[in-house]
């Protein structure tokens, strides 16, 4: 896995299908490499012809550059050509010197289009079909019509080794590719499902996260409209009017930030943009989330006990603030009773920080707890004051936490099962920023 993580191209970090193909590339390179080196040793020991005595080792060495080609180019297509060209030339060379067209080893090049098809696409499969047919046809004509390859340089003592490599190599490679194709179908179907869910999540983020600031803007607009309609502008506190205008502008900016975050997420999910985590203030993100949800906190007379240090984490502010912290905090507010307390505190361990958001609410039923983060299962319930929900918040939060290399877990005791000790505690884990770690060590 360490080698896989090193070799995987950063832009394909979230592409499951591409990740699987890279796994297949590594496995295919290893197995075909073993076969090529086996044939190289066989050619060196048992084929009495100088042109192939050391050429087999050269072909096999070039073949080993397949994975380095992928590492530095990020292209499966270029990597496949690095693998197949020396492999195909070696098998042609070997066949020509050990029986020509009638040598069963020539059949090895028939597998080249299959490997190309598994790891690339239709275009390169057709290219390799054309290459293979042309090569075999040329050998056939030169051998059977013109008699160019009538001398067999393979010693009889090398027949067993050659036949063993051919028979068992064919069986293992064909069987492996068959299993790979079946798995490839499953991975492709899963990726299509994930992409559909991703698109749904982006729409859900817009529907879910824009609604809160939009409601506040509408309330402020109605308030200002009422003042103007009743000609009360001269009689009211000017400061109050200014605060309403400022908050309206602020919540409008929140909507813009949410839309920006959605665009970024779409770019990350589609592979158009490599996610770049930046150093952000965890305390600032939490404070901004609390401020945005302030009217709902005030309405339910909820007390927020926030014990926080100015901790720097790796993340993207708009995503951490809006899609993660605000979702979880609004969920805690929704299911808390009026006059209750919500605690927010942190715990630092090595290179991570754990954020705990703990409420005294009604808790989550056990049946819902296990499927809380499943985007395909609706677990929405009414809040303690009759608040409606969409059921989108928790799946969105989990996916966004994964984007910033974090983790989330939840423990809950329902009010029905634990009348005197109920509530929910979310634990979110973020990566500490390097500068913070350096300060901590010093």
Closest by CA position to 379, among listed 415, 370, 336, 387: 370
Asked if 16 and 191 count as a contact pair (C-beta separation under 8 A), the reply is: yes
Q: Collapse the DSSP code of 29 into the 3-class scheme (helix H, G, I; strand E, B; otherwise coil) and give the result.
A: helix
> Is the CATH code 3.30.565.10 the one for domain 277-442?
yes
> What integer pLDDT is reported at residue 8 of this predicted model?
83
> What integer pLDDT is reported at residue 304 of this predicted model?
93
> What integer pLDDT is reported at residue 428 of this predicted model?
95
Instruction: Report yes or no on whether pTM surpasses 0.75.
Output: no
Q: Collapse the DSSP code of 378 into the 3-class scheme (helix H, G, I; strand E, B; otherwise coil) and give the result.
A: coil
| 224 burial via Cβ count (<10 Å: 0-12, 13-18, 19+) | middle
> What integer pLDDT is reported at residue 395 of this predicted model?
80
Domain ranges of the chain: 2-194, 210-274, 277-442
> What integer pLDDT is reported at residue 199 of this predicted model?
59
Strand positions, DSSP E, 249-340:
278-281, 303-307, 312-315
> What integer pLDDT is reported at residue 340 of this predicted model?
93
> What integer pLDDT is reported at residue 407 of this predicted model?
93
The answer for residues whose C-beta is within 8 angstroms of residue 344's C-beta and 6 or more apart is 286, 304, 305, 306, 307, 308, 329, 355, 356, 357, 358
Q: Can you tell me which residue has the tokens 């290459």?
A: 131
- pLDDT tens sequence across 286-297: 998 898 888 889
What does residue 242 show for φ and ψ, rounded to 5 degrees? -65, -40
- pLDDT < 50 stretches in the chain: 441-442
CA–CA dist 344, 305 (Å, integer): 6
* Strand partners for 304: 342
> What integer pLDDT is reported at residue 134 of this predicted model?
95
CA end-to-end distance (rounded Å), the chain: 33
- pLDDT tens sequence across 301-341: 999 998 888 889 999 888 898 889 988 998 899 999 999 99
CA–CA dist 329, 132 (Å, integer): 62
CA–CA dist 322, 258 (Å, integer): 7
Give 106's Cβ-side CA count (13 Å radius).
21
Q: Can you tell me which residue has the tokens 């979310």?
A: 426
> What integer pLDDT is reported at residue 376 of this predicted model?
62
């Amino acid at each position: 896995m360490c080698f896989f993580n090193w070799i995987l191209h950063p832009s394909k970090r979230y592409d499951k299908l591409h990740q699987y193909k890279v796994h297949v590339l590594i496995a295919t390179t290893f197995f075909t490499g073993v076969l090529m080196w086996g044939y190289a040793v066989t050619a060196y020991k048992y084929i009495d012809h100088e042109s192939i005595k050391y050429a087999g080792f050269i072909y096999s060495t070039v073949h080993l550059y397949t994975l380095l080609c992928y590492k530095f180019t990020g292209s499966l297509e270029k990597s496949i050509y690095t693998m197949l060209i020396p492999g195909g030339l070696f098998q042609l060379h070997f066949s020509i010197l050990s029986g020509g067209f009638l040598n069963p080893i020539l059949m090895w090049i028939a597998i080249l289009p299959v490997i190309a098809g598994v790891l690339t696409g239709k275009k390169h499969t057709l290219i390799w079909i054309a290459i293979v047919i042309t090569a075999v046809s040329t050998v056939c004509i030169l051998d059977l019509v013109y008699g160019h390859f009538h001398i067999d340089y393979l010693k009889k003592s090398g027949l067993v080794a050659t036949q063993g490599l051919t028979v068992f190599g064919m069986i293992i490679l064909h069987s492996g590719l068959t299993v790979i194709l079946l798995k490839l179908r499953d991975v492709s179907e899963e990726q299509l499902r994930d992409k559909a869910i991703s698109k749904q999540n982006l729409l859900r983020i817009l529907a879910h996260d824009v609604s809160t600031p939009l409601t506040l803007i509408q309330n402020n607009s109605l308030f200002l409209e009422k003042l103007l309609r009743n000609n009360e502008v001269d009689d009211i506190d000017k400061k109050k009017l200014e605060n309403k205008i400022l908050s309206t502008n602020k919540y409008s900016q929140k909507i813009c930030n949410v839309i920006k975050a959605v665009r970024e997420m779409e770019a990350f999910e589609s592979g158009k943009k490599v996610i770049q985590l930046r150093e952000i203030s965890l305390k600032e993100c939490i404070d901004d989330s609390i401020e945005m949800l302030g009217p709902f906190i005030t309405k339910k007379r909820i007390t927020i006990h926030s014990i926080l240090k100015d901790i720097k984490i790796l993340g993207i502010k708009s995503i951490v603030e809006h899609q993660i912290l605000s979702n979880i905090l609004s969920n805690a507010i929704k299911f808390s009773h009026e006059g209750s307390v919500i605690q927010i505190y942190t715990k630092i361990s090595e290179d991570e920080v754990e954020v705990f958001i703990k409420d005294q609410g009604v808790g989550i039923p056990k049946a819902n707890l296990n499927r809380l983060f499943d985007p395909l299962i609706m677990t929405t319930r009414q809040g303690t004051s009759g608040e409606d929900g969409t059921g989108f918040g928790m799946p969105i939060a989990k996916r966004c936490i994964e984007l910033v290399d974090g983790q989330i877990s939840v423990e809950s005791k329902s009010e029905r099962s634990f009348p005197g000790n109920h509530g929910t505690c979310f634990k979110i884990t973020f990566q500490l920023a390097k500068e913070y770690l350096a300060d901590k060590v010093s």
